[in-house]
Amino acid sequence: MSKAFANLGLNSELLTTLEQLGFETPTDIQTHAIPHVLNGEDVLAGAQTGTGKTAAFGLPMIQRLVTQATVRDEQRNDVLALVLVPTRELAQQVFDNMTAYAQATSLKIVTAYGGTSMGVQTKNLQAGCDILIATPGRLLDHMFCKNVTLQKTQTLVLDEADRMLDMGFWPDLKRILAKMNAERQTLFFSATFDKKIKDIAYKMMNDPKEIQVAPENSTAETVEQMVYPVDKKRKSELLAYLIGSRNWQQVLVFTKTKQGSDALVSELKLDGIKAASINGDKSQGARQKALDDFKQGKVRALIATDVAARGLDINQLEVVVNFDMPFKAEDYVHRIGRTGRAGHNGRAISLMSRDEEYLLEAVERLLDTRLPQEWLEGYEPSLIEDLPEDTNFNKKSRSSDKRRMKAKMKIHANRGKRR
């Protein structure tokens, strides 16, 4: 049994489970958060995706629920612990992980998210629920239908809280909080923190312990990052080339639009690469199938939008590709958090067209670092790319751009070897 996990105060039942799951050493966030959560304290944790956050709040939550043996009033559909997440995929992911962590207990864990029928969820909730993992909108639906009550909820977790607030869930959250007992433990997990989010966090917490396991807004150290400047119209060709020549078997690709993700699937298929897309236009069933096919290796490239990709946990994902640079720099952190998880090495590749240079600069400002760039032989960006109408570039700036590109070409001339 893991001594390191035992030192954090976890009981032998959980230690056996962890052994079965192959968890030998706690991750940083687990080391720092578990003792406080076990102690019943509020925790405000800044941790990137893939750092083992779910176990950091899940293991001590399970232990507390089991040892306190709080009696649920079956008639009232009380929930003892509530985990709120921004997306369906994350809800399912957290549910799967929590179910694994609680396998040696008799705790009932239920998940409730939109996009699927209320019926099954209602039945599950009515059969009793100790831990509920839900998206805010669907939880409100169930509260309205009196399928669930929160007066006895002792622990509230907000997972990926920054995204939840970004996605406009704050009004829903306020309605949920209003129905909760103020005497509760609140755990707030977020990959990124700005002042607005911290202010909100402090409003709903009681003297929280602040834990930051990596410098704010940094990216996982285990992820090797590279930017390839390329003409916009050649991006899909370059992606197909990279997947083929580097023999990537499992690559998660981000596009900025749903339409873009579907178009890219078709283009990769023309190049003989099996691909599937996962975006908000797809039914939950189609999204799950795409994800399962990807996990099982039936498709090589999964093309996702930012929202659809939240919460995807694919073990040891080899490569993440930013086919489009993210509009919001914070999304870069979320995207590349899909690789290099829990100590595994990963690779994050960005294909950047010229009209996206300002987006790269925003990412570099956020990370406070320059990302390495390389021109790939045969895919060097042309001096003046056919810039789309809606960019800030105008004809006047093109001559200085041209000079800049020439200078860049000199720098990169010897570096553009195929890898």
176 token code pair? 């949920």
What does the DSSP assignment read for 339-396? SSGGG--EEEEEEE-GGGHHHHHHHHHHHTSPPPB-PPTT-PPPSS----TTSS--HH
Mark 322-355 as b/e (b = at least 16 C-beta within 10 Å): bbbbbeebbbbbbbbbbbbbeeeebbbbbbbbbb
Question: Would you say 83 or 276 has its CB closer to ligand AMP?
Answer: 83
Find the binding residues for ligand AMP in span 330-359 (CB under 6 A). Answer: 341-342
Q: Are strands 109-112 and 251-254 parallel, antiparallel or unpaired?
A: unpaired
Amino acid at residue number 329: A
Shortest Cβ 10–ligand AMP spacing (Å): 11
Shortest Cβ 51–ligand AMP spacing (Å): 5
User: Per CB under 6 A, which region of 51-59, 106-114, 317-325, 411-419 contacts ligand AMP?
Assistant: 51-59
Shortest Cβ 398–ligand AMP spacing (Å): 45
Q: Is 52 in the site for ligand AMP (CB under 6 A)?
A: yes
> How many residues lie near ligand AMP (CB under 6 A)?
17
User: Per CB under 6 A, which region of 50-58, 179-187, 210-218, 237-245 contacts ligand AMP?
Assistant: 50-58
Q: Among 17, 31, 54, 353, which residue interacts with ligand AMP (rule: CB under 6 A)?
A: 54
Find the binding residues for ligand AMP in span 258-297 (CB under 6 A). Answer: none
Question: Would you say 275 or 278 has its CB closer to ligand AMP?
Answer: 278
User: Per CB under 6 A, which region of 45-53, 146-154, 211-219, 394-402 contacts ligand AMP?
Assistant: 45-53
- Alpha carbon distance 173, 140 (integer Å): 9
Find the binding residues for ligand AMP in span 97-116 (CB under 6 A). Answer: 97
Chain length of the chain: 419
Q: Among 78, 166, 172, 313, which residue interacts with ligand AMP (rule: CB under 6 A)?
A: 313
Other C-beta atoms closer than 10 Å to the C-beta of 116 total 17
257 token code pair? 């639009």
Shortest Cβ 361–ligand AMP spacing (Å): 29
CA-nearest of 367, 317, 323, 304 to 346 is: 317
Which are the contacts of 346, defined by CB distance < 8 A and separation ≥ 6? 220, 222, 223, 224, 317, 318, 319, 320, 336, 338, 339, 340
Q: Is 23 in the site for ligand AMP (CB under 6 A)?
A: yes
Q: Among 15, 26, 162, 323, which residue interacts with ligand AMP (rule: CB under 6 A)?
A: 26
Question: Would you say 49 or 250 has its CB closer to ligand AMP?
Answer: 49
Shortest Cβ 113–ligand AMP spacing (Å): 17
Q: Is 318 in the site for ligand AMP (CB under 6 A)?
A: no
Return the C-alpha torsion angle 57, 63, 69, 72, nearest 10. 30
Burial class (CB in 10 A: 0-12, 13-18, 19+), 305: buried
What H or E segment, with its residue span, contains residue 303?
A: strand 301-304
Q: Binding marks (x or -) toward ligand AMP, 73..102, rule CB under 6 A?
A: ------------------------x-----
Across the beta sheet with 155-158, what order do the strands follow?
Answer: 109-112, 129-134, 79-84, 155-158, 185-190, 43-46, 209-212
Q: Among 10, 14, 27, 354, which residue interacts with ligand AMP (rule: CB under 6 A)?
A: 27
Shortest Cβ 124–ligand AMP spacing (Å): 23
Binding residues for ligand AMP, per CB under 6 A? 23, 25-27, 30, 49-55, 97, 313, 315, 341-342
